[in-house]
């Protein structure tokens, strides 16, 4: 991997990544740890969905992409990023909808060249000209979403020629010399094709520098639960990522496990929270409830420190599971939202009803099947800069965890007894 980075990349872009996302990103985590020791809170990484608009209609999408376009304007983005920079943040995830349908996205990037952005995109709007502009700016890594082969992509994403247009956008990024990644929401229809050495080797041959497997989460108005992976398949994905990291010259991102293979949730640990296109400050992109907004009079520092909803979310999520609370305990999430009077941040206003309809299902937490990192660099990086920040040590109640891996998940005896009183 080091050889690829040294000989097959633009050195200015590599330096920007190393300094802005690497050095400054590590520094932001260190500041986060110091804040926690003082009883203060501000997430070191923010996901920001800058628009709800998208040209695709993907299965399982939770975003109101067909609603009237909403976007965070340039001035407000500059304000958000500026406030976060004062807290030490230097690395931001840009989401949508489709971020490149925001008419001023390049202006946002231009205004904030001292920080680094990872843009989650389907690639359809990355023309050669756009790719060259991203190269000039030097503070962006495109993360292009590929959801399967041509047939699977078209079905999963609701249009024809999706795969071809995505691969064209990806190639435009690579031709411009951008440090580019490919991500996949792994589900039943792409599991065999994309969780494979053949696919990884193909990415390496193309010039892709990193990959990221997300586990498909059946949420939203068109949840498609039949696409969800089994616990065994999720464990295989984790094992495949660990093996690939140790054997292939490509970086593999994994945000759901520590160095020892223990599962975690970045929102529950406080590593990240999410800002919606309407300005709502949510626990994460798929949990669409909020009590605060970026348009409140209080600064972000005060909001994050004082938010009872977000504080209680982190506590409840870390108490109930080391995995994904919306998959394993949608009942607790509904109770949390109702208890705090958190508003439904969707346009459809059906988020509570959607939680009611959800079936309890397994997520990344699979005790007894932990797979530690084999690669020393990843293991050390996670040990020092990406762990649970004490969230599970402080809160997790293993004896009260509901084993969601069974066909009929049941509350532990202790919880059942309390419920019967």
Calculate what percentage of the chain has a pLDDT beyond 70.
Answer: 97
**Contact indicator for 362, 297 with CB cutoff of 8 Å:** no
Would the CA dihedral through 209, 212, 376, 34 be positive or negative?
Answer: positive
Range 183-210 average pLDDT: 96
pLDDT at 419 over 60: no
pLDDT at 245 over 80: yes
> CA–CA separation, 299 vs 312, rounded Å?
20
Can you tell me whether residue 376 is helix, strand or coil? Answer: helix
Instruction: Report yes or no on 406 lying in a domain.
Output: no
Instruction: Report yes or no on 133 lying in a domain.
Output: yes
CA 73 to mean position of chain CA atoms: 22
User: Where is pLDDT greater, at 159 or 218?
Assistant: 218
pLDDT confidence of residue 297: 95
Burial, 246: exposed, middle or buried (Cβ in 10 Å; 0-12, 13-18, 19+)? Answer: middle
Judged by average pLDDT, the poorest of 49-63, 299-313, 328-342 is 49-63
pLDDT confidence of residue 59: 86
pLDDT confidence of residue 413: 46
Q: How confident is the model at residue 152 (pLDDT cuts 50, 70, 90)?
A: confident
Burial, 2: exposed, middle or buried (Cβ in 10 Å; 0-12, 13-18, 19+)? Answer: exposed
Q: What is the pLDDT of residues 99-121, one digit of tens each?
A: 999 999 999 999 999 999 999 99
pLDDT confidence of residue 417: 42
Residues 6+ apart with CB under 8 A from 190: 147, 148, 149, 152, 156, 184
Query: What is the b/e burial string over 282-294, where b = at least 16 CB atoms within 10 angstroms of the residue's CB?
Result: bbbbbbbbbbbbb
Six-digit token pair at 2?
A: 């080091």
Burial, 150: exposed, middle or buried (Cβ in 10 Å; 0-12, 13-18, 19+)? Answer: middle
pLDDT confidence of residue 299: 98
Range 151-162 average pLDDT: 82
| Cross-strand bridge partners of residue 140 | 117
Instruction: Report yes or no on 409 lying in a domain.
Output: no
pLDDT at 395 over 90: yes
Tell me which residue range forms the domain holding 210.
2-392
Instruction: Report yes or no on 404 lying in a domain.
Output: no
Instruction: Report yes or no on 296 lying in a domain.
Output: yes
Instruction: Report yes or no on 63 lying in a domain.
Output: yes
Instruction: Report yes or no on 403 lying in a domain.
Output: no
Calculate what percentage of the chain has a pLDDT beyond 90.
Answer: 87
Q: How confident is the model at residue 411 (pLDDT cuts 50, 70, 90)?
A: low
Instruction: Report yes or no on 183 lying in a domain.
Output: yes
pLDDT at 281 over 50: yes
CB neighbours of residue 171 within 10 Å: 18
Burial, 271: exposed, middle or buried (Cβ in 10 Å; 0-12, 13-18, 19+)? Answer: buried
pLDDT at 420 over 70: no
pLDDT confidence of residue 421: 45
Range 19-40 average pLDDT: 96
Number of domains in the chain: 1
> CA–CA separation, 285 vs 222, rounded Å?
16
Please compute, for residue 371, the number of CA atoms within 13 A of its CA located in the half-sphere on the CB side.
Answer: 21
> CA–CA separation, 276 vs 274, rounded Å?
6
Mean residue pLDDT across the chain: 93
Q: What is the pLDDT of residues 121-135, one digit of tens each?
A: 999 999 999 999 999
pLDDT at 145 over 80: yes
pLDDT confidence of residue 412: 54
CATH number at residue 257: 3.20.20.70
Residues 6+ apart with CB under 8 A from 202: none
**Contact indicator for 275, 96 with CB cutoff of 8 Å:** no
């Amino acid at each position: 991997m080091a050889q690829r980075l040294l000989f097959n990349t633009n050195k200015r872009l590599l330096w920007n990544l190393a300094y802005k996302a690497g050095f400054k990103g590590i520094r932001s985590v260190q500041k986060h740890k110091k804040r926690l020791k003082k009883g203060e809170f501000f997430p070191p990484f923010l996901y920001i969905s800058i628009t709800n608009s998208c040209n695709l209609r993907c299965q399982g999408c939770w975003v109101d992409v067909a609603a009237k376009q909403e976007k965070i304007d340039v001035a407000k983005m500059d304000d958000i990023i500026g406030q976060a920079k004062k807290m030490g943040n230097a690395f931001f995830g840009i989401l949508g909808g489709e971020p490149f349908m925001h008419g001023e996205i390049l202006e946002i990037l231009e205004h904030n060249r001292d920080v680094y952005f990872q843009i989650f995109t389907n690639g359809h709007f990355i023309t050669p000209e756009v790719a060259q502009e991203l190269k000039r700016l030097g503070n962006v890594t495109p993360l292009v979403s590929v959801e399967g082969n041509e047939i699977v992509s078209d079905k999963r994403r609701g249009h024809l020629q999706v795969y071809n247009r995505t691969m064209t956008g990806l190639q435009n990024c690579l031709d411009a010399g951008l440090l580019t990644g490919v991500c996949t929401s792994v589900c039943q229809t792409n599991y065999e094709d994309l969780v494979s050495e053949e696919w990884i080797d193909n990415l390496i041959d193309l010039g892709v520098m990193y990959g990221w497997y997300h586990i498909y989460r059946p949420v939203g108005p068109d949840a498609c639960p039949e696409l969800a992976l089994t616990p065994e398949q999720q464990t295989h994905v984790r094992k495949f990522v660990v093996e690939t990291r140790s054997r292939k010259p490509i970086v593999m991102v994994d945000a759901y496990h520590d160095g020892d293979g223990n599962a975690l949730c970045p929102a529950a640990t406080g590593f990240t929270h999410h800002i919606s296109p309407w300005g709502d400050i949510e626990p994460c992109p798929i949990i669409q409830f909020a009590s605060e907004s970026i348009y409140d009079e209080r600064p972000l520092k005060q909001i994050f420190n004082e938010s009872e909803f977000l504080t209680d979310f982190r506590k409840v999520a870390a108490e109930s599971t080391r995995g994904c609370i919306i998959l394993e305990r949608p009942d607790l999430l509904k109770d949390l939202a109702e208890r705090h009077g958190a508003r439904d941040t969707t346009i459809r206003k059906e988020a509570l009803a959607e939680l009611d309809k959800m079936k309890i299902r397994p997520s990344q937490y699979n005790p007894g099947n932990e797979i530690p990192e084999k690669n020393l660099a990843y293991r050390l990086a996670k040990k020092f800069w990406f762990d649970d920040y004490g969230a599970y040590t402080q809160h997790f109640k293993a004896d009260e965890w509901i084993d969601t891996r069974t066909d009929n998940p049941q509350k532990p005896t202790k919880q059942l007894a309390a419920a019967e009183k």
